[in-house]
Structures are given as C-alpha cells and as structure tokens.
Amino acid sequence: MVSIVKAEREDLDEILRLQYLAYQSEAALLGNMDIPPLKQTIDEVISEYEQGIILKMISEDGTIIGSIRAKETDGTVHVGKLMVHPDRRHRGYGNRLLAEIEHCYSGKRYELFTSSRSKDNIRLYEKSGYREFERQAMDDNLTFVYMEKTGSDRRISMNMNDNIAYCGLDCETCEARIATAKNDNELRKKVSKEWSELNGVEITPEMINCSGCRMPGVKTVYCDSLCPIRQCAMQKQVETCGDCP
C-alpha cells in the first residue's frame, strides 16, 4: 500500500530525479525539452522546500513514486510540481496527492496552472474541483491555463463525486471497479495477477469485485474489512480524510 507523507530534506535529490523522469511526457507533448521542470536545480528545490511543503508518495518498498509541493502567499496556496512515476499513472495517485496537499492548507484558496495542451491534467484538476479563471499566451505555441479552487469548493467537489474514496483515491479509475462494472473477466485476471505480485499473496480473479469505496455494493476483502483508512472514516462519519475534524 502506498502512503503520502511530508518529504525530508534528504529526499529532495530523489524527488528531483523523479521530476526529470515524470516531466518527459509533458515536454514531448509541448515539443520542447527545455521546459522549467527539466531545468530546475537541486538548490531551487531546496528553496521551495524551505518556503513551503513538499509531499512524497512512497511505494511498498520505500521508493518515492509521486510528489507535489505548495506554498501559501497572502491566503492563496500555489500548488505545483504534481508528479507520478510513469509506471504508476492512472491509479488515482494524482488525485490523492492533490487532496493531501490541500489538507495541509485546509480552508484556503488553491491555485495552479498547466499548459492548454495538457488535457489529462486539466481533466484531473476539474475532477478535483478546480475551475479555470485565466489564460495567458506565452507565445504562439504555449498557453498557460490558470485554475483555482476555494476551501468550500473542495468540500463540494468531494461530496459530488462518490467515486472518490475516503483516502482520496479515484475509484472511477480503479481497474477492479471497472472490471466489476463491465463484468470483464479478462481484466479481473490481469488485476489479480498484478495485485498478487504487488502484495506477495495469492489474489484470485474471483476476488476482484468492487463497486467502489464509498458506493453501495460489493467490495474487495481489503476494502471491505482491512483498510484502516476506510474503517476510520466510516467510524468518524466523514466523507474523506480531509474532512476529519
């Protein structure tokens, strides 16, 4: 199981290496390998660490597979450098990192930006409750889309999307839920094989049945009985960890 915690100073080199890897796809999309995330130095990352918060997402073996950072200025939290290892994408980790950094600055106004070409990023941010408020054309090939969300928007967006799990993961993208919704046995076999290798236990295709963490219906054994986050949130009657009093 992955976890998200605040990064330590000694993590910054590894996070910067992940950044260089994760932003290759963005550079390819823009047709420009000279974008700022690929040019950032370790001294600049240290400066951001000292002025704000950097979170790291850790895999089961302790490897950093994701990160996000933010800094508050005059009541606005500027969120940036959301990254997930290319091999770990499309599992809801980006959504979870966003929710966690917002929790670090609860009740504030959040602002971020991305390229107008980054359609996947824009969809992710919109799904998390962000709304576009400005565009800036940098040149003929690059336009930045600025997006914002208030603390009240954060609560509303979470309430509106029942596919957001208690921990912040997006169940809509979970292959176990997709296999259940489509009754796709081949996908169940694929997921059971991946989860068995990941967790070091035998997970059969018959176990891959889940309607989603907060949706009514069937659950996997882990989601139903073993997940401590789900049990805690249900006991406290909150919709996400970010709503915990």
Pinpoint the alpha helices (H) of 80-211: 93-104, 119-127, 151-160, 175-182, 185-199
Looking at the fold, whether 27 and 124 belong to one and the same domain comes out as: yes
pLDDT in tens, 1-43: 789 999 999 999 999 999 999 999 999 999 889 999 999 999 9
Contact 126, 155 (CB under 8 A): no
Which tops the pLDDT comparison, 200 or 244? Answer: 200
d(CA 47, CA 60): 29
Looking at the fold, whether 227 and 183 belong to one and the same domain comes out as: yes
Q: Is residue 167 part of a domain?
A: no
Nearest alpha-carbon partner for 88 in 68, 59, 61, 114: 59
Give the total number of structural domains in the chain.
2
Q: How confident is the model at residue 242 (pLDDT cuts 50, 70, 90)?
A: low
Residues 6+ positions from 46 with CB-CB distance below 8 Å:
9, 12
Tell me what pLDDT residue 152 has: 56
Which tops the pLDDT comparison, 155 or 240? Answer: 240
Strand arrangement of the beta sheet that strand 109-115 belongs to = 3-6, 53-58, 64-73, 76-84, 109-115, 143-149, 131-137
| Tokens describing residue 77 | 């939290």
Looking at the fold, whether 54 and 154 belong to one and the same domain comes out as: yes
Tell me what pLDDT residue 158 has: 45
Nearest alpha-carbon partner for 146 in 156, 138, 135: 135
pLDDT in tens, 141-200: 789 999 999 865 554 454 446 678 888 888 888 899 899 988 899 999 999 999 998 888
Contact 15, 54 (CB under 8 A): yes
Q: How many CA atoms lie within 13 A of 63 on its CB side?
A: 8
pTM of the predicted protein model: 0.64
Per-residue pLDDT at 44 exceeds 90? yes
- Domain stops at, among 116, 137, 160: 160
> Which domain range does residue 92 map to?
3-160
Looking at the fold, whether 152 and 196 belong to one and the same domain comes out as: no
pLDDT in tens, 189-238: 999 999 998 888 899 999 999 988 887 678 888 888 788 888 887 777 67
